[in-house]
Structure 1
């Protein structure tokens, strides 16, 4: 497989729903899981009557010719280097017992404790610093990173559709001018990468996520699609991405997309470290919303001893069409 990178720049705030918080409008995330992203692509293409593009995309994915990651954060540093981030690996956090800890001063002990607490909030790590992070984990040292991609805002709105106007709140995330999200695509041929770029350009006009009727979620490609080859066109991070994506024999394989394992892969899952995310809900663009079946996916950042292929599943039927959920894996090899 060949690996391609698409940097996306958002011209409007985004609202990406969080089912783990009840799916309310007052909560949002700023990254987008691969399963939700893929569903949004198909939905938008079919809604725009671009059935040929949608059918071709679905066929290429089901045939194994295309695999995509979550939408992950990137930002441009003050030096002009582009920084690409990966999920924090879900590995046992071995905070080693420090034999010299009894000699720490009270101030030093407080600083060390604060550093460990700060690391617990760390969700994404620069690709070029992944080796440093893993070395700190093995040594029982906290890893600190001060990275910002934008700002989350809670805005008040008023529902005027009822007899009585009622207020409600909408959370959104506004990316900094020099930040956005990027997508990794594994494709067999360069033509597949161009095909996917056309889809992203088309969907960018209507946007991703919720509240699109208010203009949310619109984006465009921040640069041309880049084929990763280890040369580091943008800086150290895209070179590191290529190395991690091609390390198929590493001791741990970290998922960069939400994975739905097949029954025969459950033993391999049990030997790994993972978080689960429940998905389901309703078909929201229907006049009478239809309930979808619920399933649990392995979150990106989950680590296994082998690359679990994953699968596509059917969550039900709406208007005579299957409701599909993307669950194929894309992985980065790491040495935990």
Structure 2
């Protein structure tokens, strides 16, 4: 397949909630990105464009990664969940703790990390330049009621830094279709509290660095890491989890649709392998319907984008 990197340059802060309004993350799961693109497809062309997007993904013609950090020209990927033998001084517990704290590592140093030779303290210091999290006060206004202030977590990326999405594609026209949806999304914004002006971004497009491209195209690796949240289908699951290292994350939330039901209904809870999970066997995954008593399907993206790690 071919790959394109979309670097998101946020013009505003972004709110990516976890458990509460004051929580905030700096990465965005692939299923959240896909849901946002589904909304843009519906706005632009109704169910016809939505069906086109879903079909492209189901037919393995388009894959999307999580939105992961970049600092200047350096792209970061999740720290692989596959254990490595750390080269260290005997009894150096400080270094062990530093390795555990790392969440993302430069893709250019993935090989060094897998050999156990990465300097975790140096990488942690560099990563602090990504941006800053803050708690900001906003006002809730309901009709003629008294204005009610509330706090919300906001992440602001430092200049030249942000998050990127990797899109895998076979046909150039399909990539242009995805790019049009992403452009529409850039004006709408992504994340929470968009009505307050958060989540707006621009983007630039470039190819992946050579080492990353080689790893993305490596179909003969001993181990593969996912760059997206994913879940094999029933026929794939047994082989997928054999000799694997993974973390399951619960994905839930409310349906954002005016035609789905009266009032706010929750999506079915869904468990997926977290990006960074490592597998010895590749799988296709799927888009799953997580609707519950609503008028139309609600799609949960769970297709893996694999990166060879060893």
- Report the Cα offset of residue 45 of structure 1: 2.9
Q: What residue in structure 2 maps to residue 126 of structure 1?
A: 106
Q: Which moved more, 1:196-205 or 1:278-287?
A: 278-287
**Secondary structure in structure 2 of the residue aligned to 1:321:** coil
- Which runs of no fewer than 5 residues in structure 1 stay unpaired? 77-81, 102-108, 229-237
* Residues 194/227 of structure 1: CA separation in 2 closer, same or farther (3 Å cut): farther
- State how far apart, in whole Å, the 2-side matches of 1:92 and 1:265 are: 24
Partners in 1 of 2:237 and 2:82 — Cα distance? Answer: 18
Matches of 2:256 and 2:84, distance apart in 1: 39
**1:9–1:142 Cα change, 3 Å:** closer
Task: Give the structure 2 partner of residue 75 of structure 1.
Answer: 71
The one of 288, 294, 299 aligned to 2:263: 288
Is 1:176–2:158 an aligned residue pair? yes
Residues 301-316 of structure 1 aligned to structure 2 (within 5 Å) = 301-316=276-291
Please give the per-residue CA displacement for 1:147-184, whole angstroms capped at 9, x wherever unaligned.
22111111123434395654421001101110111111
**Structure with larger Rg:** 1
* Alignment partners' CA distance in 1, 2:115 and 2:120: 9
Give distance in 2, aligned partners of 1:284 and 1:257.
22
> Structure 1 length normalisation: TM-score?
0.83
Give the conservation status (yes or no) of the 8 Å contact 2:250–2:272: yes
1:84 is aligned, of 66, 75, 94, to 75
Matched, 1:278 2:223: no
Deviation for aligned residue 1:201? 1.0
Runs of 4+ in 1 over 6 A off after TM superposition: none
Structure 2, gaps ≥5 residues long: none
SS in 1 for 2:290: strand
In the alignment, does 2:50 pair up with 1:54?
Answer: yes
SS at 1:272 equivalent: coil
Aligned-pair Cα RMSD in Å: 2.2
Between 180-189 and 44-53, the greater mean CA deviation after superposition:
44-53
Q: Which residue of 2 aligns with 1:135?
A: 115
* Stretch moving more, 324-333 or 181-190: 181-190
| Residue among 146, 149, 152 paired with 2:130 | 149
Tell me if 1:201 matches 2:172: no
Deviation digits for residues 68-94 of structure 1 (CA, Å, limit 9, x no counterpart): 111111121xxxxx1111110001254
- In the alignment, is residue 30 of structure 1 matched against residue 26 of structure 2? yes
Task: Give, in whole Å, the separation in 2 of the partners of 1:318 and 1:8.
Answer: 36
Do residues 217 (structure 1) and 215 (structure 2) align? no
Any conservation in 1 of the 2:84–2:114 contact (CA below 8 Å)? no
Local SS of the residue matching 1:183: strand
Aligned to 2:13: 13
CA gap 1:285/1:153 in 2 versus in 1, 3 angstroms: farther
Please tell me whether the aligned partners of residues 5 and 167 of structure 2 are also in contact (alpha carbons under 8 angstroms). yes
Aligned to 2:295: 320
Cα deviation digits, residues 51-106 of structure 1 (max 9, x gap):
44333212211111111111111121xxxxx111111000125457x7x73xxxxx
TM-score norm. by structure 2 comes to: 0.89
Question: Matched residue pairs, number?
Answer: 301
Distance 2:187 2:141 in 1: 27
Residue deviations 1:106-160 (CA, integer Å, cap 9, x gap): xxx6xx43333222221111111000111117xxx76340222111111123434
Relative to structure 1, the CA distance from residue 271 to residue 307 in structure 2 (aligned partners, 3 Å threshold; closer, same or farther) is same
